[in-house]
Each structure stands twice: as structure tokens, then as C-alpha cells.
Chain A
Amino acid sequence: MWDFPLFPEAASSVADRVDAIFIVMTVFFGFISVLIAVLLVYFAMKYHRSKAADHTPVHSKTWKVEIAFIAIPLVIAITIFVWSADLFFETQRAPTDTMDVYVVGKQWMWHMQHPGGQREINTLHVPVNQPIRLVMTSQDVIHSYFIPAFRLKQDVLPGRFTTMWFKATKPGRYHLFCAEYCGADHARMIGQVVVLSERDYQQWLSSGTSSATVGTAAAPRIGQSMAQTGEALFNQIGCNACHVPGDATRAPRLEGVFGREVRLANNQSVLADEHYLRESILHPNARIVAGYPQPSLMPAYADQITEEQLNELIEYIKSLSPEDTGAVRP
């Protein structure tokens, strides 16, 4: 009963640094709070009306004191702000060498899709010391992906992607919570993040239990990567009729498009990230690539494919490197 933790485990590259700010703030503001409490009690005793203390009212100008009352808190506040903003920006900017895992939140479960094709529900297996980027969306209401041991959290919104990244530093099993209230079983929308050593992770990948434990009927064939599933879907729903590798006549080439600036018909340009790919698949007319007909000849896939299928298509497009064909783009 009395063997309970008072401080959470720290298992990500930022956790210790969040803790550092937290501890410094706790010590400092704890001191301030105690100081004020002690002063109050001390004054109450020393200047109690029954005591013959010095009650001479302070009639000197108060503004010097007031300036101190303003300046000192301000300096402290700005110092903490800078420190925490710096760390915050680091948590917001993913490094380039991440492994992307897709997350779909729905009432009331988390569905994870690994690039290797593994699918999991409410459990996320990741290797230690490898930056992981989660590309997340919700199928219904707002959820929030929260891993206390990583000190990270990100809301998961319907109709768009949000992302978060982390680097786990310690193998183990950690809580995964939904932190944004999402309805009746909000408290059961929980799971765990399993951080594995590199060796255990390889074993987990090859064991095939990864998708077997999931038990979803729609699980793809074991051993098929997410991109491969995406490619099959790509061909099945007819994307390949126009998006022909190496041929940009009917539709923009998709090889190497991911992560590049794309020129649009309206003379603006956009970074072809997950957000843009998502929008272009669901609403092809939203932002058309320069040089292609308006309206687009492509049908809109909103309401035609599931969030998971959308993720597979995107992962497939991301897997296409420019070297896939000999053609060179200007």
C-alpha cells in the first residue's frame, strides 16, 4: 500500500529535461510559498495586537518596494519562459531520421500502423533510442495521445493530422492514456507503449505475433509492409491509371514528391507533407499542382476510404523514391 511512486519514470530524451525545469521551479516556488507562509505566521505573532511590538506605520514612499515587487517576478518569469519555450520547440520539431508510425484514435481505442505492416490496438511497440514520429488522426471526436513516462502529449483531431515525436531511452512498458475527454469509455481508452531493445524489437518484428495479437479481421497478410498494402490499394482503387511511374502526362508523378516543395496552379507552392497528401487524396481540387487541368480529373476519396487506408496510401507515396524511374524532373 505504501509502496507507491511519487515521481513518474523518465523514459524519453526530453523527460529528464522537463523534470529539470519542473524540479527547479518546484524548489524555487516552494521556497517562495513557504517564505510567504512563514512571514504571515511570523507577522501574525510578532505584530499581534496583544504584543508591544513596533507598530510604527511604514510611511516611506512605497514605489521603490513596488518596483522590486514588479521587477523580480518579471525577471524570474521570463527566465523560466525562455527555458521552457526552448525545450518546447525541440519537442515540436521532429528530426529527419524518424520512423513514422500512424495512429488512428476512435471511440475508444488506439489503432497503430507500423511501416512494416504490423498493426496494433492500444499497444505500441517501439525500439529504444530510435526517434519515432507519430502521424495521428481521429475518426470521430478529439482524443489526446499521452505517454506520461515520455512527458509528451498531443491532441488527436478529426479531419486532420497532428504529429508528435519522441525518442525512448529506456526499455520497459509505459502507460498510454487518452487525455482529452472523449465520451463514455474515455477512461478505458488506455494502453501501453512497449519500448524494446534493438534485439528484442527485431525479434518482435519477425515473430509475426505483432499482428496476430491484434486479432482484427481486416489485418493484412503477415509480412506485407504498410507501403505494400498501400500499393495494392493504390492499384485496386485505380490510382495507377493516371499516376503512372515516370509519366507525368495525366497526373503528377508521385516518386519523391514527399517532403518536396510543389508548385501549385495558383502560383503558390506547398510542402508536400502528410497534410498535403491527405488533402489531395480526399479533396483533389483543393490545391492542384501547376500544369494540370482544373477541375482535376481525379475523383475525391473523402468518405470512400478509411483513415487506415488513407495512411497506407500515404505511406506508399512516401516510400516512392525519385530513383524509382530514370526520369528526371526539372
Chain B
Amino acid sequence: MSLAPLSLHKPNYLSVSNTLRSWLLTTDHKRIAILFLISITFFFFIGGFAAVLMRLELMTPHADVVDKEAYNRLFTIHGVVLIFFFLVPSIPGVLGNFLIPIMIGARDMAFPRLNLASWYLYLIGGIIVLTSILIGGADTGWTFYTPYSSVYSNSAVFTMAVGVFVAGFSSILTGLNFIVTTHTMRAPGMTWFRLPLFIWSHYATALIMILGTPVLAIAVLMVAVERMGVGIFDPALGGDPILFQHLFWFYSHPAVYIMVLPAFGVISELVTCFSRKRIFGYTFVAAASLAIAVLGFLVWGHHMFVSGQSAYASMVFSIISFTIAVPSGIKVLNWTATIYKGRVWLTTPMLYAFGFIGLFTIGGVTGLFLAAMAIDVHVHDTYFVIAHFHYIMVGGTVMAYLGGIHFWWPKMTGRMYPEGWAVFSAILIFVGFNLTFFPQFLVGYLGMPRRYHIYPEEYQALNILSTAGASILGIGYLFPFTYLLWSLRRGPRAESNPWDAAGLEWQTTSPPPTFNFEKTPIVTQEAYAYELVSQEDDLPGRPNPTEGEIPVLDAPPQEDQP
């Protein structure tokens, strides 16, 4: 595979300027990605710290580490911060921002300034939420259920809701940019069906962001309004608290897919690269992302089987929820089929990909338990649900995020991470994760409700296991944080394409120049043409599936950029 000529003497997007101003006013999508990387890491540790305190409290059945007021605030901080300020912007904000323009051969996002505005809105929302924590914190849980949140709670709900509202608009602007960029900024020859699956899954994510987030925004805005004494959901004022649940879950169920669809995209890239194979069933994997985005909007009622909703409505929500198993199953089965007869290279990113597929499978099938109404009635609002969605969000999204960060770290920073440490921490995180959350399935089916800081004694043993796992997991997360920082200065310099990967992002230098490519690339082949990369596979007698030549960097001269 021909590589772009290395031009190390030319400035890359990092070295082009070093002033604080050049960072804070940047419109370069890659720099904005780095800004997101720094800020979501900060919020990750805040939310993670809350989780550590909660797990410590839950080691014994009594309130001994924190009291009830503190515990209720901790799980609210944990949920709000990690969902709205880590998971939702994690892969899209960092990897999506960095990679989408490069992967489609563009110089930047369609709206660079809107992209920066998105980060600032994120930051402002984050600061408002931190303020809310400092002035006493909210104790409603991330779900803000009315009328508790809007009338009864004596905590900083208003500020917290405003923070979430503002962060929502960050998400909307990101989604808007992704959609328009994918539509209008593709390089010559980059047809829709040559797009990497990373782009497809982000496109589906962006659809949910622009369609779902405004509904969440208006729902939390109405909570904030009712907080000021204007009746909307409170039954005492003629309102209906269930209406809030409908509006909330109309966003918040699709939001689960905002969190996991980008992870699917990452895994498709990792699995193909480290199996040296084209993806099995490209069209199906791409279509599955869109199907999940669409179906995701039709299942919100499965959070409300015991809310008093009509049994017939529940039935409809239940069966549509079951059908989501199909596109999710397609993904898992196609990844597995991709590895079959591949040439597997077990790097750290691939280990994370394996971890993702396994854990997401468990998270997915336990989702079917929850879609089954008779079982959901029992396990709703218990630790079974907690375990389920942590398998999706931590076992799934965080694993994919870490895998993606390792995979593209050389591209983003120009440095390699230390492989030995990385493999060790990947295994540590996998073990710690399972030890933390698997016992929660059991304690959940036993009946332990969520949001309890004290609990009956017979649940203690499983809770101790879970806390032990959380300690391992917590330490596990510190390793990548440390060695990645270390690698910025001490890591070996990365080549343009250390993994021999397909994909336009590997055709430019590491790190890329400000406008990504020396020349606008012209794309002549599908994504994942790995079988053409590995020479030994060119068996005689088999028709060559490509026409023309492999190099993608074959562009007419472009006028120099200002």
C-alpha cells in the first residue's frame, strides 16, 4: 500500500501553534476533538469518583460511609455526569470529531465554528452542573422523575436541569455537523457505500441527536419551569407525572443508542483492521445502524411497564423492543464472521474489541429479559437493570472508547502507547468490570432495588464482590490515563500507518496536518479492502474484486490554502 509521503518537517495540527488562544479559539476539528478528550476525561473521573464512593457505601448494609442525603446526591452526580458529560459526547466528541472529516477526505467539518460552539456549550453545561453540585447537589437521579424533581425535592434541581439543557444543545450541534458533513463534504469517489462503518454509525447517532435531544431539552425545561411554581406535571396542579416519563424516555431510550452506536462504528474498524479482512456483510452492518436509530424511537414505553401504562401499550413497546435484537444481533454475528478465517492480530485495541463483543452480547441479551414484560415487572428498578445497562454502557461503550483511543492514539498524537502496559490494563479492566457488574445481575434478581444506600443483610456478599470488582476496575482505569500521558513525551514516534490499516485517516501523516491531507484524496475503492493489502492472499484464479489501483492518494493539484 502506498503511503502519503512523510513530511515531518511540515507543521502538523498540534505543532502549528502553541498558544492557549490558538486552542481556545480553534476551529480545527482535530483540536476540538482534543479539547473534548481533555474535558470528558475530567468529567469521567468526577463521575467515577462518585461511583467509588457509592460502591464503598454499599459494602455494608448500613449507612456508614456516607449518609442518605449524600448517597442520593452521589448517584445523581454519577448518572448526570457520566451520561450527559461522558458517554454521550465520548466517542462522537473525541473520535467522531477527529476522524469523520479525515475518513471522508474532507478538510474540516461543514461548520467549524459551530463545532467549537458545541464544545463551549458542553463546557458551560458542565460548569453549571458542577455549580449545582457545589451548591448542594440534586437528589433526583439522572431521570428527574416528576413530581419529586419538580415539586418535592429540596435540592439544586433547577441548576442541574439547566446544565443538562445546555449540554443537550452541544449534542444537537454535534449531530447537526455530523449529518451535514457526511452529506456534503465527502471527497471525490467517496460514495455512500464506500463510507467506513464508523461514519455510518455516527450518521445514525447524529440522527438521534437532532431528533431526540430537543425533546429531552423541552422536558427538563418544563421541570425547571415547574420548579418555579408553574404547574405542568404535578397532579396537585392538574398535571400528569407520567407525561414527563413519556417525554423523558422518548429521548433517553434513543440516548442509549447515542451512546452505543458510535461504539459499533469503532468496533467495525478495529475488527476489520486486526483481522485483515473486509467486514462481513457491509450493507447489513450499515443498515443495522440506521434500523437501530429508527427502532430506538419506538420503544421508550418499555421503561414504563409498571408505571400504570395500559397493558396494550406495553405489549406494543415490548414487541418492538424485541425486534431491536435483530439489528444488534446482525452486528455481533457479522463481527464474529469477519474474524473467521481472518489473520488475527491481538493488539490492545483488538483485545478491547473482543471485550466489547462479549460484554455487549451479555448486555444485549439481558435487555431481552427486560423487554419481556413478565420478567421486567420483577426486575424493573432493581440491580438487574443496573447491571444490564452497565454492560451496555461500560462494558460496551467504554471498552470501545478505550479501544478506539488506543487504535487512533498514534494518529492523534503521533506517539505509540506502551503495548505491554496497555494489554495488562485491558485485561485488568475486563476482569474488574465483570466482577463489579455480574454479581449485580444476581442481587437484582434477588430483588435489591436501585438507589438504596442500605439494604437487607442477605444481599451483602454479592455487594462485597461488586465493590471488590469496582476497586479493580477503578485502578484499571488509572493505568491508561497514566501511560497515555507518559507516551505523549516518551512514547515511540508513530508512523503514518502503524497498523497497516485501510481507511483514509491512515493515508495522511501522524499527526495530520491542519487541513488533513496534502492533496484532496480521490477514493477509488470500498472501505476495508484488507484482502488486497495482505499479499499472500492473492490466490491465482480468483477474480480481483477491485479495478484500478489501490492508492487512494491520487489527486490533481489543488490551490494552496490560505
Contact = CB atoms under 8 A, between A and B. Distances in A.
Nearest to A82: B319
A66 B281 contact: yes
Given A57-B277, A58-B340, A146-B447, A85 B325 contact: no
B377 interface: yes
B45 interface: no
A41 B430 CA distance: 15
Given A7-B445, A55-B341, A58-B280, A140 B152 contact: yes
Nearest to A303: B236
B152 A155 contact: no
Interface string B354-378: 1001100110011011011111011
A285 interface: no
Given A36-B361, A57-B278, A88-B314, A146 B381 contact: yes
B353 to A, nearest CB: 9
Given A80-B368, A160-B308, A88 B374 contact: yes
A153 B449 CA distance: 11
B344 interface: yes
Contacts of A70: 326, 329-330
Nearest to B362: A33
Contact of A55 (B145, B445, B450, B537): B537
Contacts of A146: 381, 447, 449
A327 interface: no
A204 to B, nearest CB: 24
B340 A141 contact: no
A180 B329 contact: no
Interface string B495-521: 000000000000000000000000000
Given A49-B345, A85-B373, A144 B451 contact: no
Interface in B131-151: 139-141, 143, 145, 147-148, 151
A179 interface: yes
B375 A181 contact: no
Given A40-B357, A56-B341, A57-B531, A91 B374 contact: yes
Measured as residues with beta carbon below 8 angstroms from the partner, the interface class of chain A is 35 or more
Contacts of A53: 341
A49 B306 contact: no
Nearest to B238: A159
B446 A37 contact: no
Interface of B: 68-69, 72, 139-141, 143, 145, 147-148, 151-153, 235-236, 241-242, 275-278, 280-281, 284, 305-308, 311, 314-315, 318-319, 322-323, 325-326, 329-330, 332-334, 336-337, 339-346, 354, 357-358, 361-362, 365-366, 368-369, 371-375, 377-378, 380-382, 442, 445-447, 449-456, 458-462, 531, 534, 536-537, 539, 542, 545
Interface of A: 1-2, 4-8, 14, 17-18, 21-22, 25, 29, 32-33, 36-37, 39-41, 43-44, 47-49, 53-59, 62, 65-66, 69-70, 73-74, 76-78, 80-81, 83-85, 87-89, 91-92, 107, 140-142, 144, 146, 148-149, 151-155, 157-160, 162, 175, 177-188
